[in-house]
Amino acid sequence: MRSTVHHSALSIHHSALVSNSDIDEAVAILKRGGLVAFPTETVYGLGADASNPEAIGRLYAVKGRPAAHPVIVHLASVTQLEQWVREITATARKLAQQFWPGPLTLVLRRAGGVADALTGGQDTVGLRVPSHPVAQALLSQFGGGVAAPSANRFGHVSATTAQHVRDEFADAVELVLDGGQSEVGIESTIVDVTGERPVLLRLGHISAREIEDAAGASLAAPNEAAPRAPGGLAAHYAPRTPLMVMEADLLLELAASLIAQGSRVAVLARSALRPLLPGLEWITAPADPSHYAHDLYANLRLLDAAGCQAILVERPPQGMAWAAVNDRLSRAAVGSREP
């Protein structure tokens, strides 16, 4: 997979869809404690002023998120990092240098003033400098940190377009900055860099190998002392329709038998050819992992909205290039099951 995501340089036109006055309005909303959804190159974030505990409270309420789940603080530049952490470790420096701005979140020991509300009471804070030009414009003009979880209701599929965000929250969010479709399409890679060796807390577009190469150290396994990343919960990223991941031959068999019983079936295929059956909602996903990830949440949302009784996903290949996609699919499968 590509390790960097290139956007056209920040210009007065942050994006065809967002004007300077939209950025002004977004900054004003954040300053008065309101919520603004904004694009990043991974997924859309739902942002609040990270130095305002009331705003963070509102953020958790709107998202429906339990208070113990820490949230990522977004910064315009690596130069702001020292305000948020006690120590910038050598590994943090190397990874920030290589991947920021970009789809990487670093977990470090938090500085004194960092609110409990951001960290779930843990001693660490998650920080990210995104590259999307609209996020960059918002963050640099706002000046401070913006706390932003993915802009979806807790446990649900993340949003990769402004419309997805509106579908999730309707009027509960004051402003959605529309920066087009997120380029990466899945959430940032999260790395705990508090210790000598990096610990991978969440898979993403930046692979384990790339993290090891940039850090000059092999990954350490997470242990009990490692920070919790509840996004690592087994059930997450889930559509409302039950989702199952399986091989193509089994998928075709199951689709046919469900349809014979009168069900409608949604399919996210890769290699399987669409059979001539009624009651089938069929999407053929891109063949390579980057494009597959780019389209994944939009595809799941389309299939989820099709009124089917099941979503059957053809299992992608195994291996490192597909690890992040397979991670999201397996959590979506767990999360979509009835408790």
Q: Tell whether residue 229 is a contact of ligand TXA (CB under 6 A).
A: yes
User: Of 114 and 266, which CB lies nearer to ligand TXA in the complex structure?
Assistant: 114
Q: Which of 55, 62, 72, 268 binds ligand TXA (CB under 6 A)?
A: 72
Buried/exposed 195-224: b ≥16 CB within 10 Å, e otherwise: eeebbbbbbbbbbbebbeebbebebeeeee
Report how far residue 66's alpha carbon sits from residue 235's, in angstroms, rounded to the nearest whole number: 14
Q: 70: closest CA among 32, 127, 113? A: 127
Q: Which of 150, 207, 241, 299 binds Mg ion (CB under 5 A)?
A: 150
Q: Tell whether residue 86 is a contact of ligand TXA (CB under 6 A).
A: no
User: Of 150 and 161, which CB lies nearer to ligand TXA in the complex structure?
Assistant: 150
Q: Which of 7, 14, 94, 128 binds ligand TXA (CB under 6 A)?
A: 128
User: Of 46 and 75, which CB lies nearer to Mg ion in the complex structure?
Assistant: 46
For residues 237, 241, 247, 251, the Cα torsion angle rounded to the nearest 10 degrees is -170
Report how far residue 232's alpha carbon sits from residue 201's, in angstroms, rounded to the nearest whole number: 7
Query: Least CB distance from residue 327 to Mg ion, whole Å?
Result: 13
Contact status, residue 199 vs residue 220, Cβ threshold 8 Å: yes
Q: Tell whether residue 125 is a contact of ligand TXA (CB under 6 A).
A: yes
Q: Tell whether residue 105 is a contact of Mg ion (CB under 5 A).
A: no
Q: Tell whether residue 70 is a contact of ligand TXA (CB under 6 A).
A: yes
The dihedral built from the CA positions of residue 136, 73, 229 and 173, taken in this order, carries a sign that is negative
Bridge partners (DSSP) listed for residue 321: none
Q: Tell whether residue 136 is a contact of ligand TXA (CB under 6 A).
A: no
Contact status, residue 238 vs residue 301, Cβ threshold 8 Å: no
Using CB under 6 A, count the residues that bind ligand TXA. Answer: 29
Query: Least CB distance from residue 103 to ligand TXA, whole Å?
Result: 6
Of 26-34, 53-61, 182-190, 249-257, which part binds ligand TXA (CB under 6 A)? 182-190
Q: Decide: helix, strand or coil at residue 307.
A: coil
Q: Which of 64, 143, 230, 317 binds ligand TXA (CB under 6 A)?
A: 230
Using CB under 5 A, count the residues that bind Mg ion. Answer: 1
Report DSSP letters for 119-146, one per residue: HTT-SEEEEE----HHHHHHHHHH-S-E
Which positions touch ligand TXA (CB under 6 A)?
40, 42-43, 45, 69-72, 105, 107, 119, 122, 124-126, 128, 148-150, 187-188, 190, 201-202, 227-231
